[in-house]
A and B are shown apart, each in its own frame.
Chain A
Amino acid sequence: MYKFAHIGSGAMAWPLCLSRDVDVRAICDVHDKRRNDAIKVLEGMKAQMTADKELTPTAGYTDYREMLDKEPLDIVGIGTPHQLHAEMAVAALEAGCHVFCEKPMAVTLEECDRMVEAVRRTGRRLCINVGLRADAAVHTVLLERESGDLGEPYYVKSDYIHHGFPASSKDNCHFLYSPLLSFGSHPLDLILGILGEQASEVYAAGTRKMADPDYKFHDTESVLLKTADGRVGHCLVATDVRRAGFNTLQIYAPGCDVIQVENEYPRDDNFHGAAWAFWRGDGQRTVRTNLDLARPSGHTHADWGGHKPTIYKHAESLIMAIEHNVKPLTMADVVDGARAVAVALAAEESLRTGQPASVRQYAPLDAYDENAPQPGIDDYFGSVLGKYFYLQERGSLRTLLFA
């Protein structure tokens, strides 16, 4: 059983306690009410689960260092404001813990450097919660990319539309950072992951026609990026437009013609849809479908919340990465996280100067065991629910799109 604690009592990482091998031992939050409320919810969830596994009562802390000293932990989740991630993550790694960290991984290159160095030094995992990698359609594309069938994608575009920020989030850390840093972690991580390489240079354009006067950044940012070997990406992050949550992924690659993924996240909690379009070869084979991917049938979106299935998949993915010494299946690792931050910061520089900006390079981690047997589906999704998600999504998408 992995001993888990979470710093920051936002709801993001709670579904970890549903995972078959996790016992949530402690919650750390400086806000007493939030911490106590979280512990209350966790105790309620544990009470329903004691038939399956033996769980420890959840301790509360206000000082994460004290928690790291006193609790014998395996994994630490970090869901605090962006600017606190680096300090907390490095402390947790140095305490011998693996880290499950919210995006963006950090807010400066110096912080990224420290986190990458700490991972290399301690041999622990630092994984970033970028939800789109766990999206069924995206996840399938990533696996297909790994298989080599697509060849080297030569253009990858991802849009991330998030209604209502930053105007509605003045008391939130998002207000302190650019859309590309705060939210761009999601699409940039996909673009870089699918290109399979860090961008070497970026050029960005932005508008701030709707931003709060106190917000220092653009509300809409559009960035072109290129890799050293001449492939191109485009990322659009719009945080205050009149559109329900929406993300897209578009891939042009030699092994296909175009892959297009579109996910809409309406706010009514009744529908969570994904649409696919796929073109291949001579264009005669076109598959288009709508699949309700995010939850088992019979469950409403509200039952599961927007992020819970993602976090759940991440938890399984992180555990398997630890046990098999492989890269996590649905999460970004520390180098992926650093690369996305580096692109976002270079884009900010480009927006300031009006010129292209070069991007800090981070070499891939050499910590993974390339000869280790790759875990199978049963290893990844040992629980019935996890396997249900995985098989339903991957099986049906593969049949429809890649058979």
Chain B
Amino acid sequence: MPERTRLGLAGAGRGGGLIIPAIRDHGAELVAVAEPFPRRRELFGERWTKNLGDKPLPEFLDTYEALLERKDIDALVIATPAPMHAPQAVQALEAGFHVLSEVPAAHTLDQARDLVRAARAAKGTYFFSENCCFWYFVKEWARMVREGRLGEVQYVEGEYVHRLGFKFWGRPSWRASYEPIRYCTHETGPLLDILDDRVVQVSALTTSNKVFSDKASDDIQVALFKTAKGVAYKQLNAFGVNRHHLSQNTSPVHHYYSLYGSRGFLETTRHGEFKTLACFQEDPSENKEHEVLDLPKEDLTLPEQARGGHGTADWEIMRDFLACISEGRAPTIDVYRGLDYTLPGICAVESIARGGAPVTVPDPREF
């Protein structure tokens, strides 16, 4: 293994942001980028120069296959359209690369099975890049739940409403025809981690596609999950709806999480500044008012430059991924956990197709 981990990147859009801290702060090298769109290469170059000054740009490749053929690369960062993540990760693992995969981990159950088989057989590490699991408030909530401050958690909710363009450079984006509930990992990740749990059953419904005409997918999809520990969990995903968050004027994304337990509750604000509403009650008859906790997404103890990519999550993900490779330790989020977050969305799509009938979510450890 060379002194510096040599990275390859598939997808210069989202990947362009994710990769910066790896090069700037964590000592990795970026050898090549597979990106077919010229405009995206240009934007990648601008971002690169802004963050890394006159450091020479990596080589651009037209295809993912060209990246797989490179012998001067140790690890691939896969930040391509969602349906491609698993097949590309399988190819990379089989070719001997370490893999960091963007979310979700797979598009179908068959893809998920292939991914597990490939990850089991691979020498390289598979690391699932669910950034919301790295948020500071999520870690704080997990600590509070572990310490028993909520008692036994019985009910949780997650919502993700993110209006994005459905066309890029005249072509439909993958989101234009992507069922939004498949994109549930930004909530299933943190919530299932906090609960130390997995989803075992899902029933889901969809609205029709009425709000924006530039997409083929439905506006809002909602699922009710049941977890192995008996927690009821509601998940909502929408791509085609505006819901600007006051604290995020530049990013029209709405994240919402709530946990109800036998001794209290935790909830992110539904509007206004992003904060935590919390109530902890030892004595059930007390009926205390909730308090507002200023728990940000960013970990403010990290260096200033760590901020900016999904809070400090991108910085932490690249730090952990590179440490897994160099130290040979287990990934922070492995393939099983990545699929624990992903499979409820895949099964929700099946439930929608069956009119909301409950669908059993398989345990990827049994694949």
Number of interface residues of B (CB under 8 A): 57
A152 surroundings in chain B (CB, below 8 A): 210
Among the 9-residue stretches A9-17, A37-45, A202-210, the one with 4 or more Cβ atoms under 8 Å from chain B is A202-210
B271 close to A (CB within 8 Å): yes
For A357-380 the 0/1 string (1 means CB < 8 A from B) is 000000000000000000000000
Question: Is the Cβ of B357 less than 8 Å from the Cβ of A355?
Answer: yes
Task: Report if A170 contacts B (CB, 8 A).
Answer: no
Chain B residues numbered 247-284 whose CB sits less than 8 Å from any CB in chain A: 252, 260-265, 270-272, 279-281, 284
Among B32-40, B97-105, B150-158, the stretch that binds chain A is: B150-158
Known: A232-B207, A252-B241, A266-B289. A207 touches B222 (CB 8 A): no
| Cβ contact within 8 Å between B355 and A356 | yes
Q: In the complex the two chains form, is B287's CB within 8 Å of A219's CB?
A: no
Q: Does B307 contact A (CB under 8 A)?
A: no
Rounded to whole angstroms, the CA-CA distance of A254 and B220 in the bound complex is 12
Q: Across the interface, which residues of B come within 8 angstroms of A279, CB to CB?
A: 242-244
Assess whether A224 is in contact with B356, with CB atoms less than 8 Å apart.
yes
B272 contact from A163, A229, A277, Cβ within 8 A: A277
Chain B positions 208 through 229: 1 when the CB is less than 8 Å from some CB of chain A, otherwise 0:
1011000000011011111000
Give the Cβ gap from A357 to chain B, nearest Cβ, in Å. Answer: 10
A273 to chain B, nearest CB (A): 11
Q: What are the residues of chain B within 8 A of A216 when measuring CB–CB?
A: none
CB neighbours (8 Å) of B288 from chain A are 242, 244
One of B78-86, B106-114, B230-238 at the interface: B230-238
Inter-chain contacts of A266 with B (CB < 8 A): 289
When distances are taken between beta carbons in the complex, the residues of chain B under 8 Å from A356 are 203, 355-358
Q: Is the CB of B220 within 8 A of A288?
A: no
Q: Give the nearest-CB partner of A275 in chain B.
A: B271
* Contacting residues of chain A (242-257) with chain B, CB-CB under 8 angstroms: 242-244, 248, 250, 252, 254, 257
Number of interface residues of A (CB under 8 A): 55
Indicate if the CB atoms of B262 and A242 lie closer than 8 Å.
yes
A224 to B223, CA, bound (A): 8
User: Roughly how many angstroms separate A205 CA and B263 CA in the complex, as a whole number?
Assistant: 21
Task: Say yes or no: B262 contacts A258, CB within 8 Å.
Answer: no
| Residue B290 is within 8 A (CB to CB) of chain A in the complex | yes
- The one of B151, B207, B208, B224 in contact with A222, judged by C-beta atoms closer than 8 angstroms, is B224
CA distance A23 to B81 in the complex (A): 69
| CB–CB A203/B232 < 8 A | no
Q: Which of A154, A209, A288 contacts B219 (CB 8 A)?
A: A154
Report the Cα distance A284→B241, complex, angstroms: 14
Question: Quick check: A283 and B246 within 8 Å, CB to CB?
Answer: no
Q: Does B30 contact A (CB under 8 A)?
A: no
- Measured in the bound complex, the distance between the Cα atoms of B77 and A265 in whole Å is 49
Query: Quick check: A238 and B234 within 8 Å, CB to CB?
Result: no
Q: Give Cα distance in the complex from A229 to B290, angstroms.
A: 39
Question: CA–CA, A278 to B295, complex, Å?
Answer: 24
Q: Are B207 and A203 in contact (CB under 8 A)?
A: no
Pick the contact of A155: B220, B226, B281 (CB < 8 A): B220
Instruction: Report if A236 contacts B (CB, 8 A).
Output: yes
**Highest count of chain A CB atoms <10 Å: which of B264, B270, B279:** B270
Alpha-carbon distance A275/B280, docked complex (angstroms):
23
Contact with B356, one of A163, A201, A234 (Cβ below 8 angstroms)? A201
Give the Cβ gap from B219 to chain A, nearest Cβ, in Å: 6
In the complex, whether A19 has a CB less than 8 A from a CB of chain B is no
A147 and B270 CA atoms in complex are apart in Å by 26
| Residues on A with beta carbons closer than 8 Å to the beta carbon of B242 | 257-258, 279, 281-283
B125 at the A/B interface (Cβ < 8 Å)?
no
Task: Give min CB distance, B230 to chain A, whole Å.
Answer: 6
Closest B-chain residue to A231, C-beta based?
B207
**A interface, CB within 8 angstroms of B:** 152, 154-155, 157, 163-164, 167, 201, 203-207, 209-210, 219-220, 222, 224-226, 229-232, 234, 236, 238, 241-244, 248, 250, 252, 254, 257-258, 260, 262, 266-268, 275, 277, 279, 281-284, 286, 288, 354-356
Sorted nearest first, the 5 A-B pairs with minimum C-beta distance are A277-B271, A283-B244, A205-B232, A257-B242, A207-B154
Can you list 19 contacts pairing A with B, beta carbon distance less than 8 Å? A154-B219, A206-B232, A220-B232, A222-B234, A224-B222, A225-B205, A230-B207, A232-B207, A236-B157, A238-B155, A242-B281, A254-B211, A257-B241, A266-B289, A277-B272, A288-B272, A355-B358, A356-B355, A356-B356
